[in-house]
Structure 1
Amino acid sequence: MKKEASIVIADDHPMLLKGLYDELTSNGYNIIGQADNGMRALELILTLKPKLALLDIEMPLLNAFEVFKMAREKRTETKFILLSYHKEKEYILQARALNIGAYLLKEDSFFTIEKCIESVLNNEEFFSPYFQDSALSNTKDELKQLSHLTASEVSILKRIALNQSSKAIADDIGVSIRTIDKHRANIINKLGLSKSTNTLTSWALLNKDIIGEL
């Protein structure tokens, strides 16, 4: 049965963690570990090897994205569900950039949580009903656009996301400013951004977490 799948849960808010634990266990789910910070969550995932981990995104020591990346580096097969209050598109983009296909809001019903768990265990994506299909489709399109960038363009975009100037980037990689400006123009075209001054820099700073995963 699906409810026999081992689960680790993590949230740095004691009441929310207790509420999640009580709700899951009273409905027959097998909770094998609880954590109130990201480092402890990672330790539990690596030692207990649960089938599923439900993690609050923002936790002390390590956030859920960092836990996921470190767990994957250790080749864990645990499946992840993110829990958050955040409704901003950037969080969905970052989850998708890491190939995390499950994202719930803390306001979602327990019925929704159950549907999400079932979907993830069946290797299917599941996002909170709050997010419209059109919005989810748009995030896929944005990631597809990023995939069209060359290695050089990705390298430059990462530096732009660190708020480096064209001159600093040119000096850093040993090319002319004109070459950097040409790359910037190509990136703007590929991402479908407006050609206004500083548009690319503003976009890169806003999406620096996603860019960092490229």
Structure 2
Amino acid sequence: MNVHIADDHEVLLRGYQSVFEGEDINITGYSNNGIELLDWLKNNACDVLLLDIEMSPIDGFEALKLFKQEHIKVKVIIVSSFGQEMFVAKAIELGVKGYVLKEEAGDVIVKALKEVFAGGVFYSKKVQELILSQNLDVDYDKIIEEKVTPRELQVLELLHKEFSSSEIEEELKMSGSSLRTFLQRLRNKFMVPTNVGLAKRSYLYLKNKI
């Protein structure tokens, strides 16, 4: 896997070299800002780009917009210290394939690279929690690490319709213990402690399914 890194912190760049040792990850080069990155991509290619947001004179988001204008196609993972809602929402809007916070361990970045390189999408646990807690308007299938199964989707739909546990059991011909297991798995996937929270959080997910 060939990876290019766009970040203006030299210490972090050296850190990447250490993290990638022993992995099948080759660093093709570095860019310290958006202008250097665009120049590099016009004449070179990489499998995945690790992109910081805070760069000058062209930041990561401006670079992403210019990619479209220049018809540059590359899989992008944002690696940023910015974990606020507005930054994550903007990254999703601009079509990034992954988002990892700089404070997270290096093995998370390696996992993100492998997932995106294989054609998937990777949002770290902390970023997933932000997306879910803020109800950002995204396709949850793209950010939930463990996918919702068809049977779990049936449970989720009935829970969202305010069916009681006994009504769900009757509707799906399911035992009480089985339903409790399904609900526990769904709470884990959507990162909520209660069924009430699960019903609320399911709205955006179901909007993309029904």
TM bucket, shorter chain: 0.5 to 0.7
Alpha carbons of structure 1 residues 110 and 140: separation in structure 2 relative to 1, 3 Å: same
Contact 1:8/1:53, CA 8 A, preserved across alignment:
yes
Tell me, what secondary structure is at the counterpart of 1:83? Answer: strand
TM-score by length of 1: 0.59
Contact 2:6/2:34, CA 8 A, preserved across alignment:
yes
1:62 maps to 58
Tell me, what secondary structure is at the counterpart of 1:65? Answer: helix
Number of residue pairs matched?
138
TM-score by length of 2: 0.60
Alpha carbons of structure 1 residues 41 and 98: separation in structure 2 relative to 1, 3 Å: same
Deviations 1:42-68 (A, max 9, x none): 212221121111011101111111111
Alpha carbons of structure 1 residues 32 and 134: separation in structure 2 relative to 1, 3 Å: closer
2:149 maps to none
- In 1, Cα distance between the equivalents of 2:25 and 2:130? 33
Alpha carbons of structure 1 residues 42 and 25: separation in structure 2 relative to 1, 3 Å: farther
2:47 maps to 51
1:108 maps to 104
1:209 maps to none
In the TM superposition, residue 130 of structure 1 has moved relative to its aligned partner by 1.0
Which of 12, 24, 28 is equivalent to 1:16? 12
1:139 maps to 136
Amino acid at match of 1:124: G
Deviations 1:63-105 (A, max 9, x none): 1111112122222221101111111000111011112131110
Tell me, what secondary structure is at the counterpart of 2:99? Answer: strand
Alpha carbons of structure 1 residues 40 and 26: separation in structure 2 relative to 1, 3 Å: farther
- In 1, Cα distance between the equivalents of 2:23 and 2:95? 29
Alpha carbons of structure 1 residues 67 and 25: separation in structure 2 relative to 1, 3 Å: farther
1:195 maps to none
1:30 maps to 26
2:118 counterpart of 1:122: yes
Q: Structure 1 regions of 5+ residues with no counterpart?
A: 143-214
Question: How many percent of aligned residue pairs carry the same amino acid?
Answer: 29
- In 1, Cα distance between the equivalents of 2:130 and 2:101? 18
Tell me, what secondary structure is at the counterpart of 2:125? Answer: coil
Alpha carbons of structure 1 residues 131 and 26: separation in structure 2 relative to 1, 3 Å: same
1:155 maps to none
Tell me, what secondary structure is at the counterpart of 1:138? Answer: coil
Contact 2:53/2:78, CA 8 A, preserved across alignment:
yes
